[in-house]
Amino acid sequence: MLKDTITTVVFDADDTLWINEPYFQEAEKLFCELMEDYLPQHSTAQELFKTEMQNLSLYGYGVKGFMLCMVETAIRITNGNANIDLAEKVIQIGKVLLQKPIELLPGVVETLKQLQGKFRLVVATKGDLLDQENKLKQSGLEPYFHHIEIMSDKQVGNYQKLIKHLDCKAENFLMLGNSIKSDILPVLELGGFAAHTPYHVTWQHERYEARVEHERFFELQSINEILTYLL
């Protein structure tokens, strides 16, 4: 069915093409350890997540917003008594996160090589513009893609704009990604096709526990399984 229908194959980036969330969890752990004199680690993690959710509409997604949220959380936890040294350590955690090497996930290069030239390949990812652009350059994957879209969010309206920009119909659009909430449900709502490529860790905000039942939805074990549907 997909072979005769799909013209545009769109990939999420973080935790779909390359590793991302484990690095954020590592940074969060370092931050929680740094704040241990003020609050137990699990409580600091809860406070940080609360700050992230409060600021999401202001900062959007990405490392820089995460850094600001760590600083704000540190100020709140210490009742405004955080010193400059503590702030510098928090910023350093963020800088290390920004400079993490790109590690491609298994099957990604094989999949892109097989699909290139047969479909229009696109990246659609959330996050900070400069950070995501740098990741794509470091990944070596840029030449495979017809278009790169770094989105402020992944709601139905965001996908509508992308589909219009690509001059594509929803029924010819296939999205692959690790987040049911961001990569799958909005695309299905628009009448597109979506394939879930699960990753072993998911950011708390992106978790979705319900089972998806839809004729245009595919559950994959690995990204290269999509080749059996498309080729």
pLDDT in tens, 26-69: 999 999 999 999 999 999 999 999 999 999 999 989 999 999 99
Spelled out in words, what is the top-level CATH class assigned to the domain 2-18+103-230? alpha beta
Q: Residue written as tokens 């996930």?
A: 105
**Which strands form 217-219's sheet, in the order they lie side by side?**
147-151, 120-126, 8-11, 173-177, 193-196, 217-219
The identity of residue 43, as a single letter, is S
pLDDT at res. 209: 76
* Domain range list for the chain: 2-18+103-230, 21-98
pLDDT at res. 207: 81
pLDDT at res. 1: 66
Greatest Cα pair distance, the chain, in angstroms, is: 62
Residues of the chain with pLDDT under 70: 1
Q: Superfamily assignment of 21-98 in CATH? A: Putative phosphatase; domain 2 (1.10.150.240)
For the stretch 100-105, contacts whose Cβ atoms lie closer than 8 Å and that sit 24 or more positions apart, written own/partner, are: 100/23, 101/138, 102/18, 102/19, 102/135, 102/138, 102/139, 103/18, 103/19, 104/17, 104/18, 104/139, 104/141, 105/15, 105/16, 105/17, 105/18, 105/19, 105/199, 105/223
Beta carbons within 8 Å of 43's beta carbon, 6+ residues apart:
none
